[in-house]
Chain A
């Protein structure tokens, strides 16, 4: 195991998409065709009016550009860095069918947001109306932050309850460092705090305060608790102390004082988190990092661009490989063959008898999905769950209990930051209009 002090993290995790310099931004902004009813805006879960903010960059109206972005997406800065733009706005750009060079929307958005945060980051919102109803948001991740901003814009008071020490959710603790640093995430939370949103940190709802107590003080509750700890794999040896959960590993290197990483690391899983963990292990100094996935490259749920990037980073992919035991010396695996398609439509992997082999490693990272906060969510009376996820009306985020709304990973099962923002935004707007009705 090697240990690193925090200081060299910035150097090891240089930004993967560095900012555009002002001239590059102007040149890029001028390439935008300014489509009508633009597909990039339609593809954005928060429906940022992309051509409009790009046009404003082109005319030198950077403040107007930033305010337009923030109006649609209060986390416009982090989204500009962490969004998988290849499958969202930039993936939808019509220039794919023109000269094959889509507009760099993410970096242009960042350009406008950097201007905003570099120039005082001021948004004007009226203080809560006298006697206005208050809303409790549970969890200080992107969904709650977006929900709270919409409620504050509409005159309602908001308190966000967060069990951890820092706000921002996965933006602070879970996004790969070369995309977003905790300081960027926290700067964005400060903007939301500046709108008059109250924060209670280190308060775990259900423990320090009950939902019944919240119901007495708050007119409505927004559930945005995200997902729980990583799922166990159910393998012998999982309790060994060189086995870590991917999100804990990532949270640790992003926020803890010292970071440890193995010399040879095996990451189990084929999603984006597995890739983030594998890349991080390499950047933190591991000599060899293997990503072990039981199906083939084709079935891997990670985004294609993440896979391509991980190959460039030096991650060694071991496809059709299933771990069967974790040993002190490494990971015992078995080869898999793909059979007929299963319920998910993907070809079902079947173990090849007698093909057992060992991947030598001194650290094993599990990235096979997160558990649900079932105990807490079941305590919210009348809130229907399906497969562990909160069931909501997609247009309003309203749960089966009319005072409860929900959004983010605890609803969608774990999508992107921008999806959480969109759900929080829709819920915030819907809650305000519901509260308007009950007050009237």
Chain B
């Protein structure tokens, strides 16, 4: 049975690596306690600081084909509750849930005394660790806080060192993705003495525009402002940035992975990329705290299946497999193979290959070519439009039904890959709606490994 217990960044203990990220789901003690009851291993409290005033509305989202909240953005600021209330609730939660992790996210003006004071207050309340919010990209950054700090390595190092001078608990620095090279800030945090990194904070965004009112979203009285983007859509960006800092020898620190994690698969991916814990916000906002049940269950089952007993058994295992492009094997060759017995005849691979790739998938299992060349998509559509179709009236008219050929799908609609021309780009397999219908298969061309770098060095 998989063991999910976690010790993170030199001393933060929790029953599993699933933390609520600093945000609306971790706004107050009542929420955090319900989250712990549901199974969450830890929570990063909604950022503490001088109370602010928020606007309404605050969130907007990107839907895709009726799926809600593929991406979410927000223009909400840090906590709007009095500091003493938050502190009192943190101690209450810690008293009732001593084995769960409560991390205080902090953001105050860039003044030594202000930072020292809030660090002391958070730790006195019983926080197990501190997360310095140097990432929030909206509102607070205009006031010289949040990403205004995280975008300048020198500021990041300075404030981190102020905190480290007084902190008794582990200090995490939360990084902004709104920067050209995240490793520069990660290194600065490490120089400042950080015990760990949290990545990523939200991405600058405008999710869309209301085409009736012409106001971008979210609409605040006919105006809008850029917000921080998160949710499933940002996972690939977050995974890359985590890989960047996890692979950087200079800034190597424990990482709490954040960005689009909504299930156990994404959690496993971040851990494979080196993360020690993972943080979740959007998915909990969408479906509630209950989602953690399958995160724990799914990750445990996967670990059991793979033979991983602890999280350390697979942490970072995928990192060595990310290399620079110049080190990839130019002689590795795969081609697409269509399994006709699984093909449903949508021919999306055909149109994708012709319009979006290398014109090497053809519909010629029955009809031949067009002289010396293949029939183009336009040829095929023109032929169909000329064909006379009638309603099959009697049952006898329909003898044979749709099937023509040995498969459920008529042979004429099952595409064929020109294996000599296929470049192995994957596009057809990506667009195919049927699992396992198009597989990308290794072709042994007998050539040894050769990277671009090696090839260039021979010149």
Interface, chain A (partner B; CB < 8 A): 26-27, 30, 33-37, 39, 41-45, 47, 58, 83-84, 87-88, 91-92, 94-95, 97-98, 298-301, 304, 344-346, 394-395, 412, 415-416, 418-419, 422, 426
- Chain B, interface residues (CB within 8 Å), range: 20 to 34
Return chain B residues, CB-CB under 8 Å to A304: 395
Would you call B321 an interface residue if the criterion is a C-beta within 8 Å of the partner chain's C-beta atoms?
Answer: no
The chain B residue sitting closest to A45, CB to CB, is B389
Would you call B423 an interface residue if the criterion is a C-beta within 8 Å of the partner chain's C-beta atoms?
Answer: no
Return chain A residues, CB-CB under 8 Å to B348: 33-36
Does the CB pair B391–A94 fall under 8 Å?
no
Does the CB pair A30–B66 fall under 8 Å?
yes
Q: Give residues of chain B (330-388) contacting chain A, Cβ–Cβ below 8 Å.
A: 344-348, 350-351, 363, 377, 380-381, 384-385, 387-388
Does the CB pair A97–B389 fall under 8 Å?
no
Return chain B residues, CB-CB under 8 Å to A30: 65-66
Does the CB pair A301–B344 fall under 8 Å?
no
Interface, chain B (partner A; CB < 8 A): 65-66, 344-348, 350-351, 363, 377, 380-381, 384-385, 387-396, 398, 402, 408-409, 413, 433-434
Does the CB pair B390–A33 fall under 8 Å?
no
Cα A88 to Cα B398 with chains together (Å): 11
Does the CB pair B395–A42 fall under 8 Å?
no
Cα A300 to Cα B384 with chains together (Å): 31
The chain B residue sitting closest to A34, CB to CB, is B348
Classify the secondary structure of B's interface with A.
Answer: loop
Contact check: which of A36, A47, A346, A416 meets B385 at CB < 8 Å?
A47
The chain B residue sitting closest to A51, CB to CB, is B346
Does the CB pair A58–B393 fall under 8 Å?
no
Identify which of A36, A41, A299 gathers the most chain B CB atoms within 10 Å of its CB: A36
Given A37-B381, A97-B408, residue A84 in contact with residue B391 (CB < 8 A) = yes
Does the CB pair A419–B345 fall under 8 Å?
no
Smallest CB separation, B386 vs chain A (Å) = 8
Return chain A residues, CB-CB under 8 Å to B351: 36
Does the CB pair A58–B344 fall under 8 Å?
no
Cα A415 to Cα B389 with chains together (Å): 12
Return chain A residues, CB-CB under 8 Å to B347: 35-37
Contact check: which of A35, A37, A87, A299 meets B391 at CB < 8 Å?
A87
Smallest CB separation, B355 vs chain A (Å) = 9
Given contacts A26-B66, A33-B346, A36-B348, 5 further A-B contacts (CB under 8 A): A35-B348, A36-B347, A42-B387, A42-B389, A97-B344
Cα A88 to Cα B377 with chains together (Å): 23
Does the CB pair A300–B346 fall under 8 Å?
no
Top 7 A-B residue pairs of the complex, sorted by shortest distance between their CB atoms: A36-B351, A36-B347, A97-B344, A35-B346, A416-B391, A94-B344, A301-B394
Contact check: which of A36, A301, A345 meets B377 at CB < 8 Å?
A36
Return chain B residues, CB-CB under 8 Å to A35: 345-348
Return chain A residues, CB-CB under 8 Å to B344: 94-95, 97-98
